[in-house]
Amino acid sequence: MCGIVGYTGGSQAAPILLEGLARLEYRGYDSAGIAINNGEKIDVVKAMGRLAVLCDKCGNGRDVPGNIGIGHTRWATHGRPSDVNSHPHVSENGRIAIVHNGIIENYAQLKEMLINRGRVFKSETDTEVAAQLIDYYYNGNILEAVARAVRELEGSYALGIICADEPDTIVGVKSHAPLIVAYGEDGNFFASDVMAVLNYTKTVSYLDDDEIAVVRSDGIKFYSPFLDEIKKEKYVVDWDIKAADKCGYEHYMFKEIMEQPEAVRRTIEPYIRDGRADLSDVLDREYIKNVSRIFIVACGSSYHVGVIAKYNIEKLARIPVEVVLASEFRYCDPIIDKNTLVICISQSGETADTLEAQNEAKRLGAVTLAIVNVEGSAIAKGADKVIYTKAGPEIAVATTKAYSTQLAVTVLIALYAAECRNSLSEDEYGIILKELLAVPEKMMKILNDKANIQYLAYQHFNNEDLFFIGRNIDYALSLEGSLKLKEISYIHSEAYAAGELKHGTISLVVDDTLVIAVASYGRLVDKTLSNALEVKARGARVMGITTESLKEKVAKATDEIITIPDTHEVLLPSLAVLPLQLFAYYVALYRGCDIDKPRNLAKSVTVE
């Protein structure tokens, strides 16, 4: 869950690396560093803290000459954040410098072996072990040394390596962690994310596991683990560099909240053909007719998308759906056969637990469908079928537009499956599709009326404990509202199915406890309001989130209210999530939190 970048070319490397790291800082930000080969030796500059500390330390890169180098921004796994534990790490003799994203699981055994052979270590990290191991095997050819060393590494890693004795070469290698190489006009790059290089090129190649790239200023070559030269396809990334900028907004998160209407529109339009939700290019109609069961496997916010999708797919298509946390899926002995569809949801397409769950599903004989935002990502390449969301770059650690686009895709799946299985009336099908197409416009209405949400956030930003309640899809949405709040504001927050309050949780409600009652699902709104009155009777203050048509009813049982436009019940979460995102954002803003880079978190979880 770190960011790595490398450059070799005709320009000074350090400023380019720092610029790339700035675009990767969402992947980790407890320390950062660069290593530059100046033709005679490797100079390393690194610092604990945000990237700005490193920039100040090296004069924004001006103080470190050289046209080839590697950089790293860290999210700590081995060793506490410190200057010593920061990357890049170097071998004892200073010949090899390395940056690393991932975890080397057998580092302790390798470290013991190297110590027994006289190697001296400075840091607590697993990465220094890799640097020392490569140097141990170095015999005048850095490619051969890397290939030999990585055969002994276990775990997940993407490595970038430079050698003082070979000042024209960067070597990149990966296993179960993302790594791309990129082709520029004034040099070439490697990075853990295309975001790092968008200012210089959009042409990239994606490394597969165990492949090695040798990056030089005049070209890039690829090798198998046995050092046979191989060819890699080039791809042109369609993201606009402006999409990765704040464009005048104070925070990326707020910008990305405001981008949701257009992101949803871009995502759904390619799959609406002749007035139908048509996924036939992805999922065969006959296969969907015979699907006996669906698993949805994901982590974090994507898991919450899955919980909502379960309600909607079962309601519309009448297919049993089980939602499983990706980190648990491999260990729960899932019952799977050829008629089981496993849907894996991931923004980055590199989420380690989700990738491993997908591999397990394929091993057991299931058909796998990936819903991801990044073309060429590991989950996308490994899935049998792929649907890409069109969220564009998402920089803030707390997801917003990726969540909304994933949710829209699951509604498309529910509609398409319902039509294939003839489980939905034509009239209701038409209503849902019409309302799905209207979601972007209704999102804009909510976003344009955000002043009330900001006011309510100001009233409650000093709360230290907060509860979300709801029923059915309102409960599923409450999970996401609670996560958003705790992620960026550090307020203790929990979401509960409203009917469960009296089974223990209500004991936590005291005077002035804020309870947010999501009460948009018309069929169960009366029951949710009964639960709201139960907590009010115990001193809680209740904020209701409901539709315009239910406003008067909900207002009678709550102290404050936020409304969303009316829509079909399966699309209520697509609208109601916006007030929850905005409330979390404004609360964090008033608390003075680092909204885009919350403590202890990183964007893309590429380690288990």
Query: For the residues of 97-120, what is the DSSP string, one character each?
Result: EEEEEEEETTHHHHHHHHHHTT--
- Set 174, 255, 442, 603: catalytic member: 603
Q: CB of 380 within 8 A of CB of 370?
A: yes
Question: To which residue do tokens 């005709």 refer?
Answer: 10
Taking CA 156 as the corner, what is the angle to CA 236 and CA 107, rounded to the nearest 5 degrees? Answer: 145
Rounded-to-integer distance, Cα 157 and Cα 575, Å:
39
Classify 352 as helix, strand or coil: helix
Amino acid letter, 329: F
DSSP letter at 593?
-
Q: Is 603 one of the annotated active-site residues of the chain? A: yes
- Set 2, 55, 344, 420: catalytic member: 2
What separation in angstroms does the CA of 253 have from each of 65, 285, 444? 35, 38, 16
Q: CB of 452 within 8 A of CB of 477?
A: no
Helices then strands, counting H and E runs in the chain, come out as 19, 27
Distance separating the N- and C-terminal Cα atoms of the chain: 10
Q: CB of 310 within 8 A of CB of 359?
A: no
Rounded-to-integer distance, Cα 255 and Cα 395, Å:
10
The candidate with the shortest Cα–Cα distance to 61, out of 38, 83, 84, 81, is: 38
Rounded-to-integer distance, Cα 5 and Cα 24, Å:
9
Q: CB of 442 within 8 A of CB of 565?
A: yes
Q: Is 41 one of the annotated active-site residues of the chain? A: no
Amino acid letter, 212: I
Handedness of CA 550, 552, 557, 563 (dihedral sign): positive
Cis peptide upstream of residue 81 (ω within 30 degrees of 0): no
- Phi/psi at 42 (5° precision): -100, 125
Q: CB of 26 within 8 A of CB of 2?
A: no
From its phi and psi, is residue 210 left (phi > 0), alpha (psi between -120 and 50) or beta? left
* Burial degree of 274 (CB within 10 A; 0-12, 13-18, 19+): exposed
Handedness of CA 574, 578, 579, 580 (dihedral sign): positive
Query: Which positions are catalytic?
Result: 2, 603
